[in-house]
Structure 1
Amino acid sequence: MHTDKQATHIQSRDNALVKELRRLMEDGAAYRKHGRVWIEGDHLCRAALARGKQPSVAVFSEKFWQVAPVEYTQAAPKNIVIGDDLYASLSPLPSPAPFGFLMDLPTEATSAVQGKAAVVLDRVQDAGNVGSILRSASAFGFGQVIAIKGSAALWSAKVLRAGMGAHFALHLVESASVEDVLALQQPLLVTSSHQGDWLHKASLPWPCTWVMGHEGQGVSEALQQGAKQHIRITQPGGEESLNVGAAAAICLHASAAALAK
């Protein structure tokens, strides 16, 4: 239960912060304009704090504020308490979490980091796929994810939920170009359903950059041409292709396993 730390109570839907919260919850890309992102619920907020991320504002429903744990009421320099009915009206979710954090977008994530193993999203558009790939990247030691323009918004609510906290362990770059990827100057591994080395037989370099392509169109020709290796995953069951999230998990695990040998 929280201490007597001060909070500002809001009841008006015309309040500027309330309007900002509504836009961030309703529009998956609104964070780009506002420069900060909304994360909600125990799992995501706890994951952010565990990675040393400090929210700029903590927001609570009026009812939850009465029982909120100290770790949340002490997390931000400013606490906001919103009336229960108004708070519930902000979220498009049928059962929104009763609290969340407003966090400033990382200012350092404007370019890729040299020498850090990476995953490139080449216009991967499904939020669930993107979140899943972020989780795999974090789990298997790939410290950065680079999203080429046309990919799903990395900090949208749907990707955040699918990522399950992986965002806070990664260096994330959005709206990158093919040139940005090639400038990393580390081996580029491109997934393919019809050409290249079989993954289970391939010699995998480290650090490297794996490229995961668009759900329908695959990896762009420009990145295909820049690849050091094309990699195929054996599929004895005969399916034409794998879901990109599943393919990413298999490929990134293979890199981590090779490194561990």
Structure 2
Amino acid sequence: MTSPVTPIHSRDNSFVKELRKLSHDSTAYRKQGRVWLEGDHLCRAALARGLRPEIAVFAESFWPQVPAEWAQAARKVVVLADALFADISGLESPARMGYLLEWLPGQEPQPGQATVVLDRVQDAGNVGSILRSAAAFGFTQVVALKGTAALWSQKVLRAGMGAHFGLHLVEGAEASALEALQVPLIVTSSHQGKLIQHTNLPWPCAWAMGHEGQGVGPAVEALAALQVRIGQPGGEESLNVAAAAAICLHASALAAAG
């Protein structure tokens, strides 16, 4: 079935204005109830997970070359003049396509799931990288506490490289919500706890990754069943939170497999 096609050439078009906000305002998706996926990699990742976009958007010069399945995946198609697509794009080299997906707020943590808890992790690149590691190492849920970077912002989406679509994502949670996870909560420290390689890691579990400068907060630490540390024989004071998360999640995956 062919989706209806709407060409747009005006900067003042209301759809273009909404798209520009989604592309440049990190929390606009919460107000609009839609997420903007720019570029064929993110779009293909969404389709691979069985998601159906509301609207497919293509640059005018790319439209004649668009594979039929990319256009037919959406309920509606918009073709933007190339200059308009470049104007709304958040990329240095603008992509030639994007999808608009419905976004629903109010997700609740699911009990019994292997989970990553983000406690005020503020750098979007770190957040996206942690989501990518979570999906790679068999974690199915990410709970972002208040103060964490917006999970569906453009920077986090790009850093996540499609990991979003394989995870149950919860935003804006309070520390008290972690009690509903019903799995052991593990926190990391550079100075306290057993070395990770000498720890019997439970599965499933929840790993809490904290603020880049302050680490995990006291409210989360109070709920921890286990505290571990990552040995750093090179003498560095601490690891980047995304690097630390990758080490911890990989260690859990090995423990689960063994």
Length-normalised TM-score, structure 1: 0.96
User: In structure 2, what is the Cα distance between the partners aligned to 1:92 and 1:260?
Assistant: 40
In 2 relative to 1, CA 174–5 (structure 1 residues): closer, same or farther, beyond 3 Å? Answer: closer
The equivalences for 1:1-261 within 5 A come to: 6-106=4-104, 110-261=107-258
User: In structure 1, what is the Cα distance between the partners aligned to 2:19 and 2:136?
Assistant: 31
CA-to-aligned-CA distance 1:195-218 (integer Å, 9 cap, x gap)? 011100101111111000000000
Contact kept in structure 2, 1:119 and 1:210, CA below 8 Å? yes
Shift >3 Å, 4+ stretches = 3-6
User: In structure 2, what is the Cα distance between the partners aligned to 1:193 and 1:242?
Assistant: 8
Shift of 1:94: 2.5
Length-normalised TM-score, structure 2: 0.97
User: In structure 2, what is the Cα distance between the partners aligned to 1:92 and 1:136?
Assistant: 24
Shift of 1:183: 2.4
Contact kept in structure 2, 1:197 and 1:229, CA below 8 Å? no
Shift of 1:148: 0.4
Query: What percentage of residue pairs aligned between the two structures are identical?
Result: 63
Amino acid aligned to 2:53: P
User: In structure 2, what is the Cα distance between the partners aligned to 1:162 and 1:99?
Assistant: 18
User: In structure 1, what is the Cα distance between the partners aligned to 2:177 and 2:201?
Assistant: 22
Q: RMSD over aligned Cα, in angstroms? A: 1.3
Structure 2, unaligned runs of 5 or more? none
Contact kept in structure 1, 2:119 and 2:209, CA below 8 Å? yes
Q: Give aligned pairs, total.
A: 258
Amino acid aligned to 1:111: E
Structure 1, unaligned runs of 5 or more? none
